[in-house]
Amino acid sequence: MSARDLGRGPVVAIIGGGFSGAATAFHLARLLPAGAADIVVVEPREGLGYGLAYSTADPSHRINVPASRMTLISGQDSHFADWLEQTGAILDDAEAIAANGALYPQRRVFGRYVESYLQPFLFGKVIRHVRSAIASVELSGQGYILILADGRTLAADALVIAATHPPPALPSALRSVAAAARLVANPYDLGGLQAIGRDDQVLVVGTGLTSADIIATLDRNGHRSRIVALSRHGYRSRSHAVLPGDPIGDFISLPSRSATVMLRRIRATILDAKRRG
Ligand SMILES: Cc1cc2nc3c(=O)[nH]c(=O)nc-3n(C[C@H](O)[C@H](O)[C@H](O)COP(=O)(O)OP(=O)(O)OC[C@H]3O[C@@H](n4cnc5c(N)ncnc54)[C@H](O)[C@@H]3O)c2cc1C
């Protein structure tokens, strides 16, 4: 029997408490009348709002989008940047300020910002954080039964799936070396990276933003030897333009029905903008 059958507000269960799950819970809590719903976030991590991207403990891992373009509240672009100023969160972090004045705080700081907006709702029990992972979900009448990894169950009337990034896994081409003592399969295993000696030669598979994180960690650990990064395309992640350009393209008035269609439209828009100079 669901909470609604018992005369209480519906239970909205959110699977995953990274940025997406935390933001969903926050906006439901602030927009719905008090007591209108029981908002439950199921997330194994200690805090809500951190997820994979913003839970890294390494201070050399920074946001890769300027603070002025990251916000919990759409339409309030400077919300995070204002929070940084109000809380003094980067006062002792001179490296957070880029040459053009844009702010790039440590990634954990963004998690703290999101968490700080959820905290009043957590204290008021408007949002509940169930610290576990979902093992499976079953349909039950009009609702759902969530089976947690620790064996508990949770009945829900509505379900939001915000699990997003799968945990880092070894690509199939590298499975033959899975047991190798010097392989670091999880790029966010800081202990594994710490074990790399400063004179060890390192092969990084991939040249995207995660490889930039790894190289920053190695550098902070005093690594001084050769690092080779391997990529199918040979591209490295590019830095942001010194001067921010005006946004181009309208992807909202005619919504794309799949990610592939959206990607094609973005590419076509960029090509068109390039042609126009
Ligand atoms: C390393 C990295 C750095 C990034 N940096 C930036 C940046 O600086 N700026 C930017 O705009 N974007 C950045 N991004 C993009 C980022 O993906 C989004 O900004 C955003 O954080 C995605 O949040 P999410 O909640 O959707 O996903 P996630 O962060 O993946 O959170 C999903 C959550 O779901 C939980 N979960 C998974 N499975 C289960 C389960 N079975 N049961 C319960 N919970 C589960 C996980 O524990 C996790 O906390 C970065 C991405 C990565 C990977």
pLDDT digits (tens, 9 = 90+) for 248-257: 888 888 888 8
Of all atoms in ligand 1, which is nearest to the CA of residue 64? Answer: 8
pLDDT at 87 over 70: yes
pLDDT of residue 9: 85
In angstroms, what is the span from residue 25 Cα to ligand 1's centroid?
15
Distance 103 CA to ligand 1 centre (A): 21
Residue 113 makes CB contacts below 8 A (sequence gap 6+) with 49, 72, 80, 83, 84, 89
For residue 5, the model assigns a pLDDT of 53
Mean pLDDT, residues 11-24 taken together: 98
Residue nearest to atom 51 of ligand 1 (CA): 53
Instruction: Give the number of the atom of ligand 1 that is nearest the alpha carbon of residue 45.
Output: 47
pLDDT > 90: percent of the chain: 81
ipTM of the complex: 0.98
pLDDT beyond 70 at 6: no
pLDDT at residue number 165: 86
Instruction: Give the strand pairing for 227-230 and 202-205.
Output: parallel
Ligand 1 atom with the smallest distance to the CA of 69 is 11
Write out the H or E segment, with its range, that includes residue 17.
none
Residues with beta carbon inside 6 Å of ligand 1? 15-21, 42-45, 51-53, 63-65, 70, 133-134, 162-165, 210
Confidence at 107, pLDDT banded by 50, 70, 90: very high
Angle (nearest 5°) at CA 24 between 22 and 3: 100
pLDDT band for 227, please (50, 70, 90 cuts). Answer: very high
Q: Does residue 96 contact residue 66 with C-beta atoms inside 8 Å?
A: no
Q: Distance between CA atoms of 87 and 217, rounded to whole angstroms?
A: 27
Separation between Cα atoms, residue 265 and residue 275, nearest integer Å: 15
pLDDT at residue number 8: 67
Which pLDDT tens digit goes with each residue over 123-146?
999 999 999 999 999 999 999 999
Are 134 and 144 in contact by the 8 Å Cβ rule? The answer is no
Helices (H), the chain: 19-31, 79-87, 107-123, 190-194, 209-220, 259-275
> Is residue 39 over pLDDT 70?
yes
Per-residue confidence (pLDDT) for residue 7, from 0 to 100? 54
Output the residue whose Cα is nearest ligand 1's atom 48: 51
- pLDDT tens-digit readout, 174-222: 999 999 999 999 988 889 999 999 999 999 999 999 999 999 999 999 9
The one-letter amino acid code at 134 reads I
Q: What is the pLDDT of residue 102?
A: 94
Contact 47, 195 (CB under 8 A): no
Task: For ligand 1, atom 15, name the residue with the nearest CA.
Answer: 53
Check whether 277 has a pLDDT greater than 90.
no
User: Is it the case that residue 26 has pLDDT exceeding 80?
Assistant: yes
- Work out which ligand 1 atom sits closest to the CA atom of 52: 29
Helix (H, G, I), strand (E, B) or coil at 141: coil
